[in-house]
Amino acid sequence: SQTIHQWPATLVQPVGSPLSLECTVEGTSNPNLYWYRQAAGRGLQLLFYSVGIGQISSEVPQNLSASRPQDRQFILSSKKLLLSDSGFYLCAWQHGTGGADGYTFGSGTRLTVV
Amino acid sequence: GENVEQHPSTLSVQEGDSAVIKCTYSDSASNYFPWYKQELGKGPQLIIDIRSNVGEKKDQRIAVTLNKTAKHFSLHITETQPEDSAVYFCAASRGGKLIFGQGTELSVKP
C-alpha cells in the first residue's frame, strides 16, 4: 500500500533562518506531488507541484522554493524565513496517470516563525 | 481556469440532524469531484468522491450528489455525530491538479 511521510510535525524557527521540509512517498512510482499551506483560516493554498523529477511548477511567488531530487521525494525550502511563512504545510501525492484522481495528504508540519 | 465556490463557510447542527454542504464549479470539463475532511491539526482525508458519469454516490451516512447541468455538487451527512465536527473541503478536477473550495467548518453539538 502507498504511504506518505512528512516531517517534522512541528517546527519553531527564528526569522531569517533557513527551512527544509521533506516529504516522501512509498509504494508508488512517478506520483504527482504537491505542497500546500494553510495560513490563518482554512484555505488550502497551492505552493508548488511536480509531475516528475526536477519538474517544479510554482503557483504563487513566495519566499519558498521546492525541489524533487528523487521520484518519491519532495522538498520545500527557504533560505531566509519571514514571519509570514508561519502556517501549516501539507504535502500530497496523486497517481501520475494524467487522469482525474484524488490526493493523499501527509500529516502536515506546523511551522511557527518567531 | 477552474473556480470552485463552497457554501456555507460555517455550519452548526444538532447531533442527529443532517448537514448539507454545497459547491459550484466553473469548468464544464471537470469530471472528478472529491470531498475531504480535515480534523484539527491533521491533514485532509478523502471521505468520498464522485465522477461525472454518476449522479449520486453513498457510503453509509455520507452521500454526494452531482448536477452536471447546473455545475454543482453537494455533500450530505445524515444522523450527524460529534465526531463529524471538522472542516470539509470540496474539489474539482479534469485531470491532474485539484481545485479546492474554501472549506466549511462543521460543528455538531451534542
Bridge partners of A73, per DSSP, are A24, A70
Query: Residue B93 gets which letter from DSSP?
Result: B
Query: Which of B33, B36, B38, B54 is best to mutate for the A interface (most A CBs within 10 A)?
Result: B38
Residue B73 contacts residue B33 (beta carbons within 8 Å): yes
Res A98 pLDDT > 70: no
Could you tell me which chain A residue has the CA closest to the CA of B38? A42
Which residues in B lie closer than 8 A to residue A101 (C-beta atoms)?
Answer: 32, 93
CA distance B102 to chain A (A): 5
Residue A78 contacts residue A88 (beta carbons within 8 Å): no
Q: What percent of chain A has pLDDT over 90?
A: 81
**Which of A59-68, A95-104, B9-18 is the least confident region?**
A95-104
- What is the rounded average pLDDT of the residues A66-83? 96
- Other beta carbons within 10 Å of B11: 17
Q: How confident is the model at residue A99 (pLDDT cuts 50, 70, 90)?
A: low
A to B CB pairs, distance under 8 Å: 56
**Which of A20-24, A58-62, B27-31 is the least confident region?**
A58-62
**What's the CA gap between A20 and A77, in Å, rounded?**
5
Residue B106 contacts residue B84 (beta carbons within 8 Å): yes
Res A95 pLDDT > 90: no
Q: How confident is the model at residue A104 (pLDDT cuts 50, 70, 90)?
A: very high
**What's the CA gap between B100 and A73, in Å, rounded?**
24
